[in-house]
Amino acid sequence: MGEAGALAFLWVFIEMLNPSERRLYRARLAAFLGVLFLVGAWIVGGYYYVTEYGAFVKPVIKAGPIPWAHSVITETKEHVFLFLPFLAIYVWGLLKRYKDEFIQNASQRKAVLVVSILIVLLAFSMAGMGFIISSGFRAALEAKMI
């Protein structure tokens, strides 16, 4: 869901490069979908983190060969992730507020472009951190087997 949110904001970024009324309508739609996906990731990912990860995955990673996968990466990921839904709402709010003014105003357009691409980068960095955490879990399981 987080990746879908990232792709939605990549869509916003592309629409905003050269906006027209039609493109701005699509950008608003993409930003709205992005907000829904990121809030969905917040709820679903949060449920997994609170109910499963802490009880079963975290102790295994911490006892494994790369405990920093939890102590640094998970801890950073779980907290920095919280920025994303608010940044998504920020972009969606600006798009709703200024609507077609973006065609004339380069400064407003730049604001949406910068935050949108940072949402994309941050959301994909969450996926990258997820990969490191999974690797930490796998390494811990392999160490137990050997």
Partner 1 sequence: MKINSKALTISTTVVIWLIVAMTIVGELSEPFKLSIAKIGGHHWAGKSLVASISFVVLYLLFIKAKESENVFKGTLWVVSSMVLGGLIIFGFFVQHFLGA
Contact residues for partner 1 (CB under 8 A)? 42, 46, 49-50, 54, 67-68, 71-72, 75-76, 78-80, 82-83, 86-87, 89-90, 93-94, 96-98, 105, 107-108, 110-111, 114-115, 118, 122
* Shortest CB 13 distance to partner 1, Å: 14
Conformation bin of residue 18: beta by default, left when phi > 0, alpha when psi is -120 to 50: beta
* Shortest CB 138 distance to partner 1, Å: 20
Instruction: Map residue 65 onto helix, strand or coil.
Output: coil
For residues 8 and 128, give the distance between their C-alpha atoms in angstroms, rounded to a whole number: 18
Q: Which CB sits closer to partner 1, 80 or 127? A: 80
* Shortest CB 51 distance to partner 1, Å: 9
Residue 90 Cα to chain centre, angstroms: 14
| The three-state (H, E, C) secondary structure of 81-129, written as one string | CCHHHHHHHHHHHHHHHHHHHHHCCHHHHHHHHHHHHHHHHHHHHHHHH
Q: Which CB sits closer to partner 1, 14 or 39? A: 39
Q: Which CB sits closer to partner 1, 18 or 146? A: 18
* Shortest CB 111 distance to partner 1, Å: 4
On whether the CB atoms of residues 102 and 112 are closer than 8 A, the answer is yes
Q: Which CB sits closer to partner 1, 32 or 145? A: 32
